[in-house]
Structure 1
């Protein structure tokens, strides 16, 4: 379960409405502060909001949203973020440098964040090909696979959850087939004896 807090400071100062207090009260009244089966995350672009929650010793995962366009992070800034957040949300375009919608190279941001012990979520994935670099051929599944398998981000935030579920189901099927082929290969080898897998087989697994 994830809750996104936006404009909390404005609402508190200008409208006299403490959205942070209302949110934590609602979560606590629902019993989310005394359970371990579901992870509850509170996400905000305002570090002051997360600092306040940290001071209250809230039993929720605090997630800080970074501004788009950041390509790296200094050790001092990472240490500051670690003071009030366990995870960060990063715009997916921040992981690559681009030119004319083509990827030039990967930035150091993901390595910096994960090396500091922060969980990294990439956002926002959409099915429309115009929102993707041309390297992904207008295929949302290719893009998701790149972030999940090549970059190894910790999670994805998407406007199209069915697309991600479809990708995960295909990934599980591929893993099952891979294991099945390995079992068959070893069974055949135990009977007839054989060397390394043939090239097409090795390419598949």
Structure 2
């Protein structure tokens, strides 16, 4: 599985690999325009969206996961609490149909407002914007440039060997870019863990 917030990166991976590609939407959105969804389908198999929910679901993580799965129709949860997700997955009350106990019913949208005193509610927030095709479409990646052949090194005769340190510079550049990608992916993982 390869995850990125950059559609052009995922397009390149789609050309070269068979991995499942995941597009991560960085912004908090309220809706996705059909044209944006069609565009995402051209380069990704699935989408990760941020959860921005101020409600505590009565402090029950299982009810929260159940509400997202039942109401939002999601088919995957990324969490920093795998034991909670596993407990939800193994729950025997999930497929009981009309016999589902009340404590396993998903929370109705807006249902928690009835339990909160109106004076305790925070001020109304502006609605989150919709995700449009312009938010998804990005310019293609810059073309790859090769290292100049040894005959084009300034002041060198055609066919002359490059200076000894030329390969070391390339190796250090590759190492630093790989290190940057590794650190960035670890930071994204930490952010995902903290979101849930």
Task: Give the shorter-chain TM-score range.
Answer: 0.3 to 0.5
Q: Bigger radius of gyration, 1 or 2?
A: 2
Higher helix share: 1
Higher strand share: 1
TM-score w.r.t. length of structure 1:
0.44
Structure number with the bigger relative contact order (C-alpha 8 A, sep ≥ 6) is 2
